[in-house]
Amino acid sequence: MATGIELGALDKALRTLKLGGMLDTLEARLAQARAGELGHIAFLQVLCEDEISRRESAAIARRQRKARFDEPVTMEGFDFAASPKLPAAQLRDLAALRWFHAGESIILFGPVGVGKSHIAQSLGQLVIRLGLDVRFIKTSRALSHLAGGHADHTWPKRLAELTRPALLILDDWGMRELTAAQADDLYELISERSGKSMILTSNRAPEEWYKLFPNPVVAESLLDRLINTSYRVFMDGPSYRPNKRPGKTSTSGRPRQSK
C-alpha cells in the first residue's frame, strides 16, 4: 500500500509533468489495482486514459466559452415533433457535418421562434467536438464590432477575430437595412472567409436580402457568392419558444427543462 510520503512525491511529480488530472482518479484506480482488477500495465493505461479524457473535456469547455453561445443546446435536445412543417430529416442530416467538411455553409430561414438559433448552435457544438473553434454572434453585434475597429484603427484585428474560427455563426442576419459602411464590412468578412463554413439564421428568405444593401453591385457580389455555396433550409411552423417555458410539457409528454 502506498504511504503518504510516496503519494506526496507522486503528486509533485505528476504536477511537474502537467499530469495533475490523474490525481482525480488515482485513489479509485489504486483500489482497483489492490483488488486485483488491474495489472501494472492496465493500471498505467487507465490512468493515461483518465488524463486524456480530462484534457478533452477541458478543451471542449474552453472552446465552448470562446464560442459565446447563447445557450448550451444540442440536437438531441431539440423537439423535432414541435411542428410537422419542420424539415426534420434535412436538419438531422446536417448533423453529419458533410457540408462543413466540404467548406460549405448553411442558411436557416423562417418565421421567428421556430428554432433556427437552436439548430445553429447545436451544429456549432458538433464542430467544437471535432476539436475546432466556433464563434456565435448576432449579426448586429458583428457589424458594431467591425465598425468600432474603424474608429480605433483595430479593424484588421477585429476582422481576423471573425475570420479565424473554423465555423462562424451569424445569428439574426438581415434584420434591417444596411449602411454603405456595414455592407462593405460584410463584403470583406465574407470574402476573407472564402472556403470556410458559416451558418446564417434569418427571418427573411435569401431573395429578400438584396434590397437591404444600398449598393446593388456589392449586394450581387456578396450574396451570390454566399447563397450559391450554402444549403438553404426553410424552417416553418409555430413558434418553438412557448414550448421552452419552465414546466411546459413537450410533445413526448415529458416536462421540459428551463433553458
Question: What pLDDT, in 10s, does the model give residues 211-242?
Answer: 999 999 999 999 988 998 899 999 998 776 55
Please tell me whether residues 21 and 74 are part of one structural domain: no
Is residue 153 domain-resident?
Answer: yes
User: What integer pLDDT is reported at residue 256 of this predicted model?
Assistant: 44
Predicted pLDDT of residue 248: 53
> 221 lies in a domain?
yes
255: in domain: no
**Same structural domain, 19 and 81:** no
Single residue among 65, 86, 113 that ends a domain in this structure: 65
CATH number, domain of 114, equals 3.40.50.300
Q: Which domain holds residue 53?
A: 4-65
Closest CA to 176 of 140, 150, 148: 140
Same domain, 166 and 95: yes
Do 138 and 85 lie in a common domain? yes
What's the pTM value of the predicted model, to 2 decimals? 0.81
Do 96 and 160 reside in the same domain of the chain? yes
Same domain, 23 and 57: yes
Residue 10 lies in a domain: yes
The bridge status of strand 105-109 relative to strand 134-138 is unpaired
Query: How would you label 22-52 residue by residue, b for 16+ Cβ within 10 Å and e otherwise?
Result: bbebbeebbeeeeeeebeeeeeeebbeebbe
Is the domain of 36 the same as that of 103?
A: no
43, 65, 87 - which closes a domain: 65
Does residue 257 lie in a domain region?
no
The whole-number pLDDT of residue 55 equals: 86
Claim to verify: residue 98 and residue 163 sit in the same structural domain: yes
Check residue 220 and give its pLDDT: 94
Residue 250 lies in a domain: no
Looking at the 3D structure of the chain, how many domains does it have? Answer: 2
Both 118 and 21 in one domain: the answer is no
182 and 116 co-located in one domain: yes
Last residue of a domain, one of 21, 43, 65: 65
Residue 254 lies in a domain: no
Tell me if 258 is assigned to some domain. Answer: no
Provide the pLDDT for residue 6.
63
Find cell 424539415 and name the residue: 87
Are both 144 and 185 inside the same structural domain?
yes
Q: Are residues 51 and 90 in the same domain?
A: no
Tell me, rounded to whole angstroms, the distance of Cα 85 from its chain centroid. 25
Is 106 in contact with 231 (CB distance < 8 Å)?
A: yes
Specify the pLDDT at position 259.
38
Which parts of the chain have pLDDT scores under 50?
1, 249-259
